Amino acid sequence: MITLESLENTETCFLQLWLMLENTRQELNGTYRRFCVRSILKSWFGQAATDDFIWEICTKSELLGLDEQPRPALDPRPHRELLRALVSVALGISTCKVNLRALDAAYSIAFPYSTPINVSKKLRPP
């Protein structure tokens, strides 16, 4: 388990969170539990993950607490928003102040051969 006080707005912290996300996915899958925002936060923070805390994360990330999430390596966008909301709530800052470059760079390090984080951007013809 990690603590909210240990979270930072840095690439190193984001890398740790991306790797923990994949480990949590495998752990929850191995115990036949749903890989959803609620289960992730309960697994990471234990008793500190209250209903109000989970609600705040879900509201900021625009994710539903009990919806099954895809694998981070295949569909990173919802997880990006989850980690962004988590750091925002933990540090008491706006989601706009979360360092997205560091978040995206950490994703590229954690999952070097996976779906690019900006897969939805279309290439324009020359």
Exposed/middle/buried for residue 103 (C-beta within 10 Å: 0-12, 13-18, 19+): buried
Rounded Cα gap, residues 10 and 63, in angstroms: 23
Please tell me the least confidently modeled range out of 17-26, 50-59, 82-91, 111-120. Answer: 111-120
| DSSP per-residue codes, 7-72 | --SSHHHHHHHHHHHHHHHHHHHHTT---SHHHHHHHHHGGG--HHHHHHHHHHHT--TTSPPPPT
Rounded Cα gap, residues 83 and 16, in angstroms: 11
* pTM over cut 0.95: no
- Give the model confidence (pLDDT) of 26-36 as tens digits: 999 999 889 99
Question: What pLDDT score was predicted for residue 1?
Answer: 67
- Give the model confidence (pLDDT) of 2-11 as tens digits: 788 889 999 9
